[in-house]
Every structure is written in C-alpha cells, then in structure tokens.
Amino acid sequence: MSPSILDRQTTIAEPGYNRFLVPPAALAVHLCIGQAYAFSTFNLPLTRLIGLTQPAHGDWNLKDVGWIFSIAIVFLGSSAAMFGRWVERVGPRKSMFVAALCFGGGFLVSAVGIHLHQLWIIYLGYGVLGGCGLGIGYISPVSTLIKWFPDRPGMATGMAIAGFGGGALIAAPLSVMLMAHFKTATSNGVLETFVTMGVIYFMFMMIGVISVRVPADEWKPAGWIAPARPKQLVTSANVAVESAWRTPQFWLLWGVLCMNVTAGIGVLGQASPMIQEIFNGRVSPAAAAGFVGLISLFNMGGRFFWATTSDYIGRRNTYMVFFLLGILLYAAVPTLGHLNSTALFVAAFCVILSMYGGGFATIPAYLRDMFGTYQVGAIHGRLLTAWSVAGVLGPVLVNYIRQYQIDHGIPKAQAYSVTMYIMCGMLLIGFICNFAMRAVNSKYYYKAPSLGKTPVSAQS
C-alpha cells in the first residue's frame, strides 16, 4: 500500500533542504492555537446573544461562559499527554492536520451551539474538540524542531512556542474587528466570527501541514559535530516516554513547570483589575488594557529570548534565573505598590511575564537534555499536565486570596501583597526542584529491541 501524503515517510526532507523552512511551519500552527489566550474577547458577547447590547432573560451568564476556556485548557493538557506517543509515531504532518481539523472544527461546532443557543455544544466544540486541537497542535512540531536544530534546540522550540504567545496578539484585535464587521441589528456578530475564524485558522494551519518536513535519520547540520564530551545534564542517550515518567527527573521538571506557570498565569488573568486596584485612581481602564498588552508582548518575547539564552547558559541555569529573579521581583511588588511607583511596577511585571513565557519555551529543550530526542514530544505532552494544574491553581490563588483579604477588611490596594508572597513560596519550591536535578539513571535508557544496544540520537 502506497504511503499517504500525511505519513511521516512522505515528509522526510530531501538532501540540501533548508532547515529554516521548518520554524515557519511550526509557527503557522502555534500562531493559530495561541488564539486560546484571547478567548476572553468572546466572553461578554457570548453573554449577550439575545439582548445584544445588554444581557437579557435567557442569556448565558459570565461564570458559565468562563468554563469554555477552562475546559479547553484541561483538554489541551490531557490530549497532549494522551496523544503524545501517537504524534511521535505518525509524525508532524498528520498530527498537525488532525490538530487543524479539531481546532477549526471546534469553532464550527461552537457556531452551531451559538445558533441553537446551547452552551453544552460550545463546551463540546471549543472546549473538548478545540482543546484536543490545542494539545495535539502544541506538541506536533516540538520533536521535529529539536531534531532539525540539535545545535540550537532552545532557539528552535522557543521560536515555535513564542508563536503561541503571538497568537493571542493576533486573535484579540482580529476577533474584535470581525465581530464589528458582522454586527447587525439582529446579531452581535459572534456566530459569523466563529465560522470565519474556524475557516481561517484551518487554512492557515494547513500552511504548516503542507510545508513541514522531518530530517532523515542520519542528518545533521552541515559542519556541526556533536560535542565529544556532552555538557553536564545533557544526555546523548534516549529514554522512552513510558520509562521517563517513572524517573524522579520527570516529576522534578513537572514541579519546575507547574510552579513557574502558576506564578505567572494568575497574574496574567488578573492584570487589569490588579493594576487599577493597586494604583487606585491613577491607572484608567484604558491604561490597564495597555498594561495587559505590554505584558503579553513580554510573554511572547520572553519565550524566544530565554529559550535562546538557555542554549548558551544551560537549561538548569536559565530556570535558576527565573526562580531567583522571580522571587526578588514578586517580593518587591508590594513595596513598589506602596511607593506608588507605576513605572517600576510595570517593569517588574514585564520581566516576570517574560520569564513565565520563557518557562514554557525552554522546557522542551530541557526535556531533550534529560531524556534525549527519541520520544521528547510525547514526554513533553505528558509534562503539559502541569500546565492544566497550574491553570487552575494560579487563578484560584490570586482570586480567592484577594477576596479573602478584602472580606477581612484589607484595603483593595493592599489585597495582593499576601498573594505576591505566596507566589514567592511557589517559586521557591520550583527552585528546589530545579536545584535537585541530576542526570537520569542509565537503567532508564531505551534499548532498541532488535539491536540490544542503547541508541543515541541521530545528531549525537
């Protein structure tokens, strides 16, 4: 039977193929699925489908609509964990295609839910189907990029994962523009926007599907020689996903990612009310929206900057910087609030959010260093469950502790101080996990069944 155009073997690059064609293929997928970060632009319009300008009787409430994003993030983590091995087996093209079908299809199914005014259909569409598209799409290009860039794995995956941050920067104004364009006397334009975005995102992700290539088994960059003595904490062996998640290193990295994400995600979700409440009367809602935009830019830029930096200073040292600098900055935030120093406050959060993004972008290269390239995509998929946990933990910590403080008579401007110190504690746990990192025991190394020897990656 001849191989399908989506099969891994039909995507093996011909000799002389320019490896810099692969990052835009990965970006085509990540720029689309990064839309998830901007889903909140639909929250208010979805609560006014009947009333149009104001919520009317029968309209959904904000709390129930908020579940759409939460379900999508849970399915992002769980689908990445479940389908990681399948993604490794079938290759990036087929998995990107499935991701495009799920993500684009999620919008279309949700449009049906809007048309019938059935919220459960949107939960199923954007939440479950779209969430699976997010998870599969997120991990699809990671292992391919690491194999194409053995000399710069951090930079390569940083580029793709920066695309996920960039996706929100595109989706937020695009959603607003489309809703304004489709708005009529009888519709607020959300249904039409969902259909349009589903089609646009599917087509854009197909650019990645068509252009992605995997390197031949023995391929390595011209003139590049693997270091004879690998750096400390960089393995030349491989660990299979089923063994990897039984190692202490996997769970230490899980803790590193979970703590780093928890510290950033809560702030990202509450950035606008937080700056307005801390600097009461001095920061307008428009300026607060500007603050959200600015930290989103640093979230994206940090992904590329820190992941690239990790190629030079090492993954462990990069996370040491995240945790130590993060603790210092979070501890300084209450003081900056008391000093009414808006500029320093904004600067501190720009750095914090750059390290939040950097944590996401550097983790695939860290996994490659610890477990080799063999099933790094699948291992990354399982590690992303830390994101799902952090996605609940971070906002809960920020929102509930703030509310608890206010209920106990603490002024709003000071209600975030305790939260910031708790974030310092989370980062300290992350620091300890990272500090405890050691090379994986050789008993976990993958041994190829037919040859009975430990394979090393094609590049090493």
Partner 1 sequence: MKIRLVVLWMAVGIPLAWGVLKTLENALKLFQ
Q: Per CB under 8 A, does 170 bind partner 1?
A: yes
Give least dist CB 179 to partner 1, A.
Answer: 15
Which of 25, 36, 49, 265 is in the footprint of partner 1 by CB under 8 A?
25
The tokens describing 401, both together, are 């502790």
Q: Per CB under 8 A, does 18 bind partner 1?
A: yes
Binding-residue pattern over the window 127 to 166 for partner 1, x denoting contact by CB under 8 A: ------------------------------------x--x
Q: Which of 307, 288, 270, 276 minimizes the C-alpha distance to 165? A: 307
Question: What would the DSSP string read from start to end of 65-110?
Answer: HHHHHHHHHHHHHHHHHHHHHHHHHH-HHHHHHHHHHHHHHHHHHH
Give least dist CB 28 to partner 1, A.
Answer: 6
The H-assigned helical ranges of 217-340 are: 241-244, 248-278, 285-313, 315-338
Q: Which of 420, 25, 426, 437 minimizes the C-alpha distance to 213? A: 25
Q: Per CB under 8 A, does 281 bind partner 1?
A: no
Which of these ranges, 75-83, 171-179, 238-246, 333-341, lies near partner 1 under the rule CB under 8 A?
Answer: 171-179
Q: Which of 421, 412, 423 minimizes the C-alpha distance to 334? A: 421
Q: Per CB under 8 A, does 180 bind partner 1?
A: no
Give least dist CB 402 to partner 1, A.
Answer: 22
Which of these ranges, 92-100, 101-109, 169-177, 232-240, lies near partner 1 under the rule CB under 8 A?
Answer: 169-177
Cβ proximity to partner 1, 222 vs 228, nearer residue? 222
Cβ proximity to partner 1, 197 vs 257, nearer residue? 197
Please, which of residues 31-70 interact with partner 1 by CB under 8 A?
31
Binning the chain into helix, strand and coil, the percentages to the nearest 5 are 75, 0, 25
Contact 208, 96 (CB under 8 A): yes
Burial of residue 304 (number of CB atoms within 10 Å: 0-12, 13-18, 19+): buried
Q: Which of 259, 252, 220 minimizes the C-alpha distance to 370? A: 252
Please, which of residues 90-109 interact with partner 1 by CB under 8 A?
none
Residues 65-68: contacts with CB under 8 Å, at least 24 apart:
65/119, 67/123, 67/127, 68/39, 68/122, 68/123, 68/126, 68/127
Helix (H, G, I), strand (E, B), or coil: what is residue 214? strand
Residues forming beta bridges with residue 12, ordered by sequence position: 214
Q: Per CB under 8 A, does 173 bind partner 1?
A: yes
Output the CA–CA distances (angstroms, integers) from residue 116 to 110, 124, 189, 191, 320, in the order listed: 10, 14, 15, 10, 51
Which of 7, 8, 12, 24 is in the footprint of partner 1 by CB under 8 A?
24
Give me the torsion for CA of 281, 283, 287, 289, rounded to 10°: -90
Buried b (16+ CB within 10 A) or exposed e, 188-204: bbbbbbbbbbbebbbeb
Q: Per CB under 8 A, does 169 bind partner 1?
A: yes
Q: Per CB under 8 A, does 290 bind partner 1?
A: yes
Cβ proximity to partner 1, 247 vs 299, nearer residue? 299
Give least dist CB 293 to partner 1, A.
Answer: 4
Give least dist CB 359 to partner 1, A.
Answer: 21
Cβ proximity to partner 1, 350 vs 393, nearer residue? 350
Q: Per CB under 8 A, does 233 bind partner 1?
A: no
Q: Per CB under 8 A, does 273 bind partner 1?
A: no
Which of these ranges, 20-28, 44-52, 420-428, 442-450, lies near partner 1 under the rule CB under 8 A?
Answer: 20-28
Question: What is the 8-class DSSP label of residue 126?
Answer: I
Contact 459, 220 (CB under 8 A): yes
Give least dist CB 209 to partner 1, A.
Answer: 13
Give least dist CB 25 to partner 1, A.
Answer: 7
Which of 346, 355, 361, 379 is in the footprint of partner 1 by CB under 8 A?
346
Q: Per CB under 8 A, does 278 bind partner 1?
A: no
Gyration radius from the chain CA atoms: 22
Give least dist CB 52 to partner 1, A.
Answer: 25
Q: Per CB under 8 A, does 203 bind partner 1?
A: no
Q: Which of 135, 140, 137, 161 minimizes the C-alpha distance to 310? A: 161
Q: Is the dihedral of CA 385, 454, 366, 102 positive or negative?
A: negative
Count of residues of this chain found to bind partner 1 when the rule CB under 8 A is applied: 34
Which of these ranges, 19-27, 104-112, 230-238, 377-385, lies near partner 1 under the rule CB under 8 A?
Answer: 19-27
Q: CA 241 to CA 379: how far, in whole Å?
A: 5
Question: What is the 8-class DSSP label of residue 237?
Answer: S
Which of 51, 227, 293, 425 is in the footprint of partner 1 by CB under 8 A?
293
Which of these ranges, 17-25, 58-66, 83-91, 448-456, lies near partner 1 under the rule CB under 8 A?
Answer: 17-25
Give least dist CB 277 to partner 1, A.
Answer: 16
Q: Per CB under 8 A, does 352 bind partner 1?
A: no
User: Where on the chain is the footprint of partner 1 (CB under 8 A)?
Assistant: 16-18, 20-21, 24-25, 27-28, 31, 163, 166, 169-174, 207, 211, 283, 286-294, 296-297, 300, 346
